[in-house]
Amino acid sequence: MAADPPTDASSRPGFRSGYVALCGRPNVGKSTLLNALLGEELAVASVLPQTTRERMLGIWTTDRFQAVLVDTPGIHRAKSALNKYMVAEALRGARGVDLILMLAEVPSFPAGPEGAAAAAEWEPGPGARAVVERLAELVAGQGPRMVLVLTKCDLLADRDLLLPIIGKWQAVHTFDAVVPVSAKIARGLDTLRAEVEGALPEGPAYYGPEQLSDRSMRWHAAELIRAELFARLGQELPYSSAVTITDFKELRERDRIDALIHVERSSQKGIVIGAKGRSIKAISIGARKRIEALTGRPCELFVEVRVTPGWTKDPKKLDELGYRAQTEVAGSPELDQTGGSND
């Protein structure tokens, strides 16, 4: 389902607006869902967990409402400075909103009696339970509604197995609603839209009808270069790379961008550059196409690779790369660092 065309209807009586946080464990499909609702490839989405590092607002404007979607990093047990920063970003993104969408991936069961037996024995894992507990603290009393969004439901062989899965989740927390979705095939998005609209208070839009994000194009350019890195080198270089934009010029007929890819070791620099520069060339071409698709303008992109030793562990270096490191993050031993979305 593509986003409705933006309008200037926010001054009409009955128009609704508010903030909606997309929360959950790593790799449950938060960014993919945001992109599906907006109808734009705005957030970096990857099959790898912990792709999202910072909060980003995706602005979903229709002729009836404006939902400011807060895309957050996955909530997990944080050890390094980068991971602590990411969890702090996620929890801050869930505060002060009108609705929390708690995303959890549907478990995969085979069809038939074997699948039914597996679904009957299945329980949400301790990591997922701990995330719900953290979010429940935010909605206690007179906090926002919390809706459970079961993602990737197209992977479930027997849709009847959704009922026992929903029952297990409702035993963990009494959600205000449960919506199974598949962003990939646009299943359940209309139902989710109704839940979002109903949770928003009446009021004018926060942003202009044409605005899709609170972030600058400079920030999005860095994210799109990082997306290309994940797409091409995700197995060799999953979490040791960062991107900064050193220069961004909007010229009359095109954009000109200079970027730095930061890695932690010289061996990683060699991986990014590749034999005879083939890898960095392919990354640059792919990233340029992503940027042009978002801006609608031609782009000249110049990328260099720099070794920044230990940047993921050093709060000062994180700050220099644009990540405002947090020194204190309330932890939970049940939030394991790299496990699956519902484990």
Return binding residues for GTP. Answer: 24-31, 71-75, 151-154
The closest alpha carbon to 82, from 201, 195, 241, belongs to 241
Output DSSP code: residue 155.
Answer: G
Report the relative pairing of strands 99-105 and 65-71 from DSSP bridges: unpaired
Contacts of 114 (CB under 8 A, 6+ apart): none
Contacts of 208 (CB under 8 A, 6+ apart): none
- Point out the annotated binding site: 24-31, 71-75, 151-154
Report the relative pairing of strands 56-61 and 65-71 from DSSP bridges: antiparallel
Residue holding tokens 């926002």? 144
| Separation between Cα atoms, residue 266 and residue 255, nearest integer Å | 30
| Separation between Cα atoms, residue 265 and residue 321, nearest integer Å | 16
